[in-house]
Amino acid sequence: MKDRRQVISMTEHGVPWFKLDPVWEGGEEIILQGLPSDQISPIWQLLLLGDGSTTRHLQLLTGESIEVDIIDMSPIGISSDGAPDSIENVPGPRLRRQVWLRTASGQRLAYATSWWEERRVNEFLKNQSLPIWSSLALSRTELFRDVQGVHVGHSNQLARAFGETGPFWGRHYLFWHQGRPITVIYEVFSPYLKKYLGEA
């Protein structure tokens, strides 16, 4: 049986977040040069490596508004939480937020975990029931999305939640505001998106 620690990262409080068990990962060099077209289609590459809003892209693809189901918001102190190394750019103590991104009609399209400086999270997420992009857009917050890594892997939990078999494509990135990192976001996309994007 697969060691569950490869699939779920646990905090000291025992609350899980869903991390891919990777079969392949690429860093900043791969992101800058792009992936070979025989490894991933160009349109999936735009979704994964582009610096635009995930929520906005999903809305345009599906023609539906994108809504958030909040799974968890947990204080994690100064723990690294099994997160990407980029978390070291976010001052502690930290708060971890987990959500599903879904269409208004209920189709889950992505899973996202984000890590925030706990004392500043309400500054950026004034309405925490909104997708991050929508919340930041309402306050006209200027951001730079710095894609740091791309991942392909498996997760039994995400397979059940999406109703789709892996492998799954994901990425992580930093959001910068006024020269300061404000959050690290780890996203995994449902293979259901092939309905709009074709096969990855």
pLDDT, tens digit (0-9, with 9 covering 90-100), for 52-108: 789 889 999 999 999 999 999 899 999 999 999 999 999 999 999 999 999 999 999
Q: Is residue 54 domain-resident?
A: yes
Quick: pLDDT tens for 50-64.
877 898 899 999 999
- Cα 178 to its chain centre, rounded Å, is 22
0.75 exceeded by pTM:
yes
CATH number of the domain encompassing residue 131: 3.40.1410.10
Query: Domain count of the chain?
Result: 1
Domain housing 69: 24-197
